[in-house]
């Protein structure tokens, strides 16, 4: 769906960008609920103050989501530390991906665990490249790094995942 005209409603924009932004936000947040809050906050901020700015709307939205996630992380750092001490670190982690119908959770959990072992810088680039379908130039612009650095981080992330994940066996 193309959403570039002034006549487009916020609902059209959210329908077009919301699911990808949520997946992206999920990489920077502790839970699905936090990711949903971050996307909502970022989208409202974008729609009210940034949609008339020049540039790629998707890149602006991703930057807004990233900033909202970092803001949330800063607000919750101390609270999280207190909760960790109180419950002994027993908090369970929510899944990032929804399981496919008829597919077991084992592979999904294996991929999620492997993603969590990547350095944040590599995970960010991987998420933006695969799920947001951005170019390395767009990723560099979004994260404030060179396109070559983005490409390198992507290659390192893929190499690390290949080492950790067992190949699927069919049959």
pLDDT band at residue 104 under the 50/70/90 scheme: low
In a domain, 3, yes or no: no
Backbone angles phi, psi at 146, to 5 degrees: -75, 155
Q: Rounded to two decimals, what is the model's pTM?
A: 0.52
Q: What is the pLDDT of residue 90?
A: 47
Number of domains in the chain: 2
Residue 2: pLDDT band by 50, 70, 90 thresholds? very low
Of 71, 94, 117, the last residue of a domain is: 94
pLDDT at 93 over 70: no
* Same domain membership, residue 72 and residue 148: no
- Please indicate, yes or no, if residue 2 is contained in any of the structural domains: no
Among 40, 52, 11, smallest CA distance to 60 is for: 52
User: What is the domain extent for residue 142?
Assistant: 102-171
């Amino acid at each position: 769906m193309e959403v570039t005209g002034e006549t487009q409603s916020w609902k059209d924009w959210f329908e077009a960008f919301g699911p990808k932004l949520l997946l992206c936000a999920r990489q920077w947040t502790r839970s699905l609920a936090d990711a949903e809050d971050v996307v909502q906050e970022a989208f409202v901020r974008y729609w009210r103050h940034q949609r008339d700015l020049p540039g790629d709307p998707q890149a602006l939205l991703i930057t807004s989501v990233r900033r909202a996630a970092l803001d949330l992380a800063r607000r919750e750092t101390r609270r999280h530390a207190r909760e960790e001490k109180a419950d002994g670190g027993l908090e369970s982690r929510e899944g990032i991906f929804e399981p496919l119908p008829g597919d077991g959770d084992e592979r999904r959990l294996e991929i999620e665990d492997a993603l969590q072992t990547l350095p944040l810088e590599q995970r960010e680039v991987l998420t933006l490249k695969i799920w947001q379908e951005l170019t390395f130039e767009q990723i560099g612009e979004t994260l404030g790094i060179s396109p070559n650095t983005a490409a390198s981080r992507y290659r390192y992330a893929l190499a690390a995942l290949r080492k950790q994940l067992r190949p699927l066996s069919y049959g």
